[in-house]
Amino acid sequence: MFFRVKQSGPRSYLQIVENRRDDGAVRQKVVATLGRADELAARGALAALLASGARHCEQVLLLSTLQADLDGPNVLAKRVGAPLLFGRLWEETGCRAVIDGLLAGRGFEFAVERAVFATVLHRLMVSGSDRACEKWLADYDVPDVDGLALHHLYRAMAWLGEELPAEQQAGATPFAPRTVKDLVEEQLFERRRDLFAELSVVFLDTTSLSFTGAGGESLGERGYSKDHRPDLMQMIVGVVIDADGRPVCSEMWPGNTADVRVLIPVIDRLRSRFSIGRVCVVADRGMISAATIAALEERGLEYVLGARERTDALVRCVVLADSRPFTPLCVPRAGGEETQLFVKEVKVEGRRYVVCRNEAEAAKDAADRRAIIEALDQQLKRGDKALIGNSAYRRYLRTTTDQRAFEIDPGKLADEARYDGVFVLRTNARLTPLQTVLRYRDLILVEQLFRSAKALMRTRPIYHSSDAAIRGHVFCSFLALILRKELDERCRKAGFRPEWGDVLRDLDRLQQATIEQDGKTWTVRTQADGCAAALLQAAGIALPPRIQATPPPRASTEPPASPKRRGRPRRSATRP
């Protein structure tokens, strides 16, 4: 049925008409003539009629309540995309079950697992400190977080970093005790162990994180700052990932701990924590020393390690001077592209080296050096007093014969050109040169994880004042990396690779409004734009209807309790 205006001379009449099928033809039948359209509008009869009918149509009633000027409906809008998506991944990766299991028997008066999830979600979406997370939660529809305050978030972080009892400290490194977060990592690994044939290859890299404040009781120390904040106290964070790029565990040490000291304790602890035997360690040159290599070989472990081309005399004078020809290799890259490498194997004094040259990188290194030399030449013409303080310039300078000025050293330029596009690996693994290069190239995955943790999730700076809370704060970024890796895997299987910025923006656009008026409640959500719909589909999540009425609470069907009888109880008829 529908409204129709019937013209009769100068007047218009409003009718209700319905379509009927009669002998195969659609005919219109007038159900009622409501009157002259101008008179109905003048006395408000049409508006009253429509409002009366709207009570029997939820969609129309919703629109009418939104248009009310006085005593309008209560509308509350929240973002639902991120809680839907990452909440499902939080469940399916086992994070919620593991944390709930570890909390069994603890007497917290608030939902610790919800506080941890809220913090992890905050790291993924906008990050910042835990102080900002409390206010950020008000805009997101995260289930069961009502009542969480800032001190609850702090206590949840402290629980994650809480030291385990003395009888559970076996396998702790010399730099850090075993904590609750270690149990979370171990149980998460156990839940997905069937996905691994063997944890035979591990990648390890470290970075530094700065503090605002003293940095706890023992973690905050002065040291070499990789994030260029030598003015602040810092800590060292290491991440271990497997051959598939999945984060396995994280390690945390005081800020003055040298990288070369941590590799062996981490590997020993890794083998005991996750019950693994054969393992191939892949690490960058900054973590290697002669003592480290000797300890790895003593334990019978395989390794693929970056060598120091410039400072290692054996590599510089013997390995790079080897005259045997290179073998060209094509290394596959993401997106179906290939990288052209030239590789050769060199054995010196029982040590096995793989020398690699990347022609594209060599051309880039040469171009960068030419740009530096041109700038240096211009600076020399203006005066050279400030040049010696610039490390990029100093490496190419020498003093003149009269010792009064500086000039460009052609010998240093030629020596530097030897290293263009070249990197050297040392290994004892039973791998071909190509396999060795591929293993080392996968170390980039760890570097990408660190960039995600520091740039996208802004783990730094850290404001907590206790070691336990600091460890929990950093570990939430590790849990965020687990969820992001899981999302990446599901997107890869679904055949698309969205940009992370698009993921965050499109998820935030997915919002849901709750509208309450006269005892009725509706939920209305926005359209899933951009990549949001594909992300939810990859995670196996079905979106709720665009408009949905929430039914009122059902009345109790239990009979009312009989009123208590007053006075003396009635005497039983059978009682004598």
3-state helix, strand, coil in the chain (%, to 5): 40, 25, 35
* Mean pLDDT of all residues in 436-443: 81
pLDDT, residue 33, reads: 86
Whether the pLDDT of residue 79 is over 50: the answer is yes
Q: What is the dihedral of CA 225, 229, 233, 239, to 10 degrees?
A: -50
User: In which residue are the tokens 């500086």 written?
Assistant: 406
> pLDDT by residue (tens digit) across 328-383?
888 766 555 677 888 899 998 888 999 988 888 888 988 988 888 888 878 777 76
> pLDDT by residue (tens digit) across 371-415?
888 888 787 777 666 665 666 666 777 777 766 777 777 888 888
Determine the length of the chain. Answer: 576
| Domain ranges across the chain | 2-56, 57-80+510-551, 314-431
User: In which residue are the tokens 């005991």 written?
Assistant: 272
Whether the pLDDT of residue 471 is over 50: the answer is yes
Rounded to whole angstroms, the Cα distance separating 481 from 487 reads 10
> pLDDT by residue (tens digit) across 82-93?
999 999 999 999
pLDDT, residue 91, reads: 95
Q: What kind and span of H or E run contains 269?
A: helix 263-274
Pairing between β-strand 234-242 and β-strand 201-210 as defined by DSSP bridges: antiparallel
Query: What is the DSSP secondary structure assignment for residue 163, as one 8-state letter?
Result: B
pLDDT, residue 70, reads: 43
Q: Given CA atoms 276, 279, 285, 290 in this order, what sign does their dihedral have? A: positive
Q: For the chain, how big is the Rg over CA atoms in Å? A: 35
Kindly give, in sequence order, each residue whose CB lies less than 8 Å from that of residue 24, ignoring residues fewer than 6 positions away: none
Q: Structure tokens of 349?
A: 């004094």
User: In which residue are the tokens 């704060």 written?
Assistant: 473
Q: Given CA atoms 278, 283, 285, 288 in this order, what sign does their dihedral have? A: negative
pLDDT band at 113 (very low <50, low <70, confident <90, very high): very high
Query: What is the DSSP secondary structure assignment for residue 213, as one 8-state letter?
Result: S
> pLDDT by residue (tens digit) across 554-572?
555 555 555 444 444 444 4
Rounded to whole angstroms, the Cα distance separating 455 from 451 reads 5
Looking at per-residue pLDDT, the higher value among 264 and 132 belongs to 264
H-helix segments, 323-358:
none
Environment class of 83 (CB within 10 Å of its CB; exposed 0-12, middle 13-18, buried 19+): buried
Strand order in the sheet with 351-358: 247-254, 234-242, 201-210, 280-283, 302-306, 422-427, 351-358, 338-348, 327-332
> pLDDT by residue (tens digit) across 33-68?
888 888 888 887 777 776 666 565 655 555 555 555
Q: Structure tokens of 320?
A: 């790079």
Around Cβ 140, how many Cβ atoms within 10 Å?
19
Looking at per-residue pLDDT, the higher value among 143 and 255 belongs to 143
**Residue 348, beta-bridge partner list:** 351
Mean pLDDT over all residues of the chain? 80
pLDDT, residue 430, reads: 85
Spatial contact of 235 and 209, defined as CB atoms under 8 Å apart:
yes
pLDDT, residue 156, reads: 94
> pLDDT by residue (tens digit) across 273-320?
887 767 788 888 777 788 888 888 888 888 888 888 888 888 888 888
Kindly give, in sequence order, each residue whose CB lies less than 8 Å from that of residue 77, ignoring residues fewer than 6 positions away: 511, 512, 513, 514
pLDDT band at 573 (very low <50, low <70, confident <90, very high): very low
Q: Structure tokens of 476?
A: 């939430």
> pLDDT by residue (tens digit) across 415-427?
888 888 888 998 9
pLDDT band at 115 (very low <50, low <70, confident <90, very high): very high
Cis peptide before 461 (omega within 30 of 0): yes
SS (H, E, C) 83-123: HHHHHHHHHHCCHHHHHHHHHCCCCCCCCHHHHHHHHHHHH
Around Cβ 123, how many Cβ atoms within 10 Å?
27
Around Cβ 46, how many Cβ atoms within 10 Å?
17
Q: Structure tokens of 283?
A: 């690490």
Q: Structure tokens of 550?
A: 């929430």
